[in-house]
Amino acid sequence: MSYPDIRPRRLRRSAAIRRLVEETRVAPAELVLPLFVKEGLTEPKAISSMPGSVQHSRESLRKAAHDAVSAGVGGLMIYGVPADGNKDETGSGGLDPDGILNVAIRDVIAEVGDSTVVMSDLCLDEFTSHGHCGVLADDGSVDNDATLALYAEMGVAQATAGAHMLGASGMMDGQVGAARKALDAAGFKDTAILAYAAKYAGAFYGPFREAVESSLQGDRRQYQQDPGNAREALREVDLDIAEGADIVMVKPAMPYLDIITRIRDRVDVPVAAYQVSGEYAMVEAAAANGWIDRERVILESLTSIKRAGAQIILTYWATEAAQFLRDRY
């Protein structure tokens, strides 16, 4: 038999053709920029393990939010860092309407309004003296149900401050349902919940711990997922959706691309992924040493996450990547 002269390279021969047939394309509106704001700062403070990222002052936070919106970034995730000495056993600063996180939410809403999605971190770890995501029982373990009561109060405080979406990130059983019930009872039926449904107890979070000045004692393996488990992630996703999650997320992103795909194939709600601090830091370190092409690696990494099935990507490069994408297309 004779075969036609099949040449797939015909569709790669020029930039214009490659652009025309590109199967996966990231848009700036699909990117979410995580932002850290530190109580009491008067100017931004560099995060040594995350080159190019900072702890913001309230003023610089507003500017960063404005710049992200101008670049077309689709959302902002706000993390509050209390002043030195302002942590306690129950993380009360996270519930305080005048605490740094709720004040920062109001600042950002005042700056950008509804022009982007303002998200807030619904978790206690930045505010607890022990660094865990909930309150501790007498035996030192995290008390799941006591923590849910605090999440409910914290969620209402964030919604009252103006957050459009709450990032339920603590990996407590029932956290989405507790937040949803409290929000609805307080009249915030339209406030959405982004569930960190599959958040793994991996080793890629180190730089983030510096960014939020974590006081973590021990580890979080009792409540975050084991890196070897995939079916468990599907169970977590099913539970979160049943409890009212509007979006489900996988964290970290690139080490868990297979999990993103399995979840995307399973659910009919939007799927997000968080390109975490360790992923960011590795690329920045390699680029600083001249070992990789920084811009190309940033865009390739984002494309891989999108290709795996994530519709929304949280990344510390969001504003910069949005500009790369606008220049590229």
Which positions are catalytic? 199, 251
**Tokens 């401050």 label which residue?**
161
CA distances from 299 to 26, 27, 28, 279, 325 (A): 8, 11, 11, 13, 8
**Tokens 């915030």 label which residue?**
188
List CB contacts of 290: < 8 A, sequence separation 6 or more.
none
φ, ψ for residue 100, nearest 5 deg? -60, -40
Give the H or E element holding residue 92: none
Whether a cis peptide bond, with omega within 30° of 0, leads into 252 is yes
Say if residues 41 and 103 touch (Cβ distance below 8 Å).
Answer: no
Tokens of 233: 């992630």
Distance CA 163, CA 145 (A): 24
